[in-house]
Structure 1
Amino acid sequence: MKMNALLKTLGFLALAATPVLAGTSPAPKNPVAPAPENDDLGITASLGYDTNYIWRGLNYGQNWVRSAAEGSILLIGGASEDGAGTTSLDWNAQFGTLAGDQEHFTPNFGADDFGVSFQRLQLGAAVAHDFGPATVSLGYTYYRNMGTFTRLVTNDGGEINLGLATSLGPIDIASSANFDHVNNSWYFDVNASTTIAITDSISLVPFANVGYGHNLNWQFAADSGVANGSWGGLNNITGWTAITTGIQLPIKLNSRATLTPYLAGNLPLGTTANLGGSARDAGAPDTPYKSVLFGGVTLSVRF
């Protein structure tokens, strides 16, 4: 009797120690926490400074302070589903100002004629489709030009943009065609760059850009400044504008923040350089149309 009772007790203990379902393991003492959900909003905000504000080959002035926000919203995600590629809505908002009234167009006039600090708000959106070998985009950009250069008047701008981005081996190529229907002008450009990894967090990015304008007036009003003939002999120009080339040095501070200093040179080509010739008003500076070495830095944070 005692032996039977002992065997029953051992059998009960063995049954109690056996998992309820075959193939099920007991829960670990220290379970691994589930991976956090991706809380990336797809938005990048940035603050930056440029020693000179170069826009489409023209040197507007010194000490450009800027801020920006940009992002991308996935509209169609077909790359992993049917091989059709992805379609996204890319958007950006930028604001910049020439700090300290450091504009280059009218600094030689009298004290009462000094220009106020030029400011520009830029809002853009584009639908981009990734075809695999290349990404094509179609969008619109609105320019709000505020402040003014003394004796120079700027218009706002509204551009229809067509873009193409691709890679040729290690070289990234991007080009755009931009029609400003407000100012009736065209601007085309091609940009080439490559990324050279130095460490896991530091890269070297050489780049070069060349632009071409047709009836280009840089959004200056036809009855003043660069566009009225007194500063360049032509109402609107057609031809190569400038070559801008330099080196960026992106530095990853952490998984979300990047600091990018750069050094570059802007070399106006014949069409732009000629605006600084004898056709200018007496006393008008030729600084906007001359070659310049400039640099700056951008701090960007992804959210």
Structure 2
Amino acid sequence: MVSFRSFLTASFVLASATAVFASPIARSSDLSARDTTEELGKRQGGCTTRLQRRAWHTLSDAEKKSYIDAELCLMWRIPQQTGLEASVSRFDDLVKAHQLQSMLVHGDGWFLPFHRLHMHAHERLLREECGYNGAQPYWDEEADAGAFSSSAIFSPTNGFGGNGVGENNCIQTGPFANYTLHTGPSYDNTDHCISRQIDDDASRGSSTENVNACLAEQKFATAWPCIEGSPHSGGHNGVGGEMGNAISSPGDPLFYLHHTYLDRVWWRWQQQSLPARLTDFSGYTTQDRPAGGWIDATLDDELNMFGVIANARIRDVMDVTGDLLCMEYV
């Protein structure tokens, strides 16, 4: 298993010898074969009513059930639509979009923009294909940092089920118990359970102190590595198991609440200096230096969603209140 503990150093060494990666970026200006953000905005008439993303603990039991039911719909009722290897359901499609390019959307400038679009994709599928009427919630991990094991989010009745048990650390309570994943662990495609190994000490990475340190950074060039550091690894390693795997972590439905929380941290950072931080973007396009030399990431890079939803340029996900994302955090 590839752990987030080694994520920012030699995180993909074990898998790189056999994996083949497709770049998530299409630098061509010819987008005629795909929906563009501009076309999407025109069809929808722009952003008129923003979705309101709220913390999980503020939702009513009925709202929580509605979200969980929609997630189960993606997992059990809606077949895959991408044709990607080992994908069976729409839930699998989302996992594959992360797995196939994980080496390229971590440890570089694409990390935050890609995951912002990935959360939007998940939100859209819940709403458009499974009848969910709400917005993607986030896990207020700062409130639970250092004590994940006692968090209400792991409730078996109105949460995501509890810790893993047994030899394989499979979860055995809650709505996702006995579910079979088809993608992962890591770059493998092997049927396996959703596993967890909750670690309260590791969850301290999500602390308010660590978040505030990232919010104090003055430029995106230093803010994104900070966010990808402790707050990011705190959530992944604090939950452990499938979530602790840098490649296939979307196999645990908690992934989407975790990364929506991280996206909120980024938006909080952006809000401190608007509109300047809507275009403050930098970094490279890969973790490691390519043979031909480093390539700077740009706002015009296109993020690849592997057909789950339309691709989008980074500049189109910089503003969460814009026509594409059309939401706000409350």
TM-score by length of structure 2 reads: 0.26
TM-score by length of structure 1 reads: 0.27
Q: Which has the higher strand share?
A: 1
Please say which structure displays the higher CA radius of gyration.
1
